[in-house]
Chain A
Amino acid sequence: NAGVMQNPRHLVRRRGQEARLRCSPMKGHSHVYWYRQLPEEGLKFMVYLQKENIIDESGMPKERFSAEFPKEGPSILRIQQVVRGDSAAYFCASSRAVLAALQETQYFGPGTRLLVL
């Protein structure tokens, strides 16, 4: 019973390049959440997606960041023209049902650590 999978685990990019982070939710989960953790900070919500739909992107920076969760394949968090301030750990979580039921638990992946040189 595989958990949430993220790849790559580590990603190094130079300023101005693009970063693509992938997340495969747990089997049977159709809700995906992306969080970012800056050094010495807690996790900050970025975006919530269901298959082919962005439900809530209130935590996403307005520029350079985008996310998708296609019908087939993993969810992708894309960062264009990366800057040093994008260096962080990016975590993906999935849940079986929408987190409208407060008790529904989110299961987290191991994260992708992005370093921008």
Chain B
Amino acid sequence: DQQVKQNSPSLSVQEGRISILNCDYTNSMFDYFLWYKKYPAEGPTFLISISSIKDKNEDGRFTVFLNKSAKHLSLHIVPSQPGDSAVYFCAAPVKSGAGSYQLTFGKGTKLSVIP
């Protein structure tokens, strides 16, 4: 069962405009979320995170918004640049039976920024 869902497999945006990537989750116990960016033939790289005690976290051109009541978060990229073209994964730590955390990922959204 998919606890973190990214319902848009792809998104195309014009350079300089805003990119908005969405993520929904089903587990109300999640209290931390991460966004990873992945280029082809590379591993995911950490981009930005947010704790559930906040509703917004900003880092340069990247802002993540969290709406706990809707179990929804979104990543905003402003302004979008061609180098932002990648697959973006939403993830959340899930506590395992061993007492540690593992990450559960959405299926990803492929962002294409058109020059």
Tell whether A44 is near chain B: CB-to-CB under 8 Å. yes
Task: Give the contacting residue for A55; candidates B43, B89, B100, B105; CB below 8 A.
Answer: B100
List residues of chain A with CB within 8 A of the CB of B97: 56, 58
Contacts of B96 in A (CB 8 A): 48, 56, 58
Task: Give the contacts of A50-88 with B (CB-CB under 8 A).
Answer: 55-56, 58-59
Interface Cβ pair total, 8 Å cutoff: 77
Q: How many residues of A contact B (CB 8 A)?
A: 30
- Once A42-B89, A42-B105, A103-B49 are accepted as A-B contacts, the answer to whether A111 and B43 lie under 8 Å apart by CB is yes
Chain A minimum-CB-distance residue to B49: A103
Q: Is A117 an interface residue (CB 8 A)?
A: no
**Is B101 a contact of A42 with CB atoms below 8 Å?**
no
Question: Closest chain B residue to A55 by CB distance?
Answer: B98
Residues of B within 8 A of A (CB): 4, 6, 9, 31-32, 34, 36, 41-46, 49, 51, 89, 93, 96-108
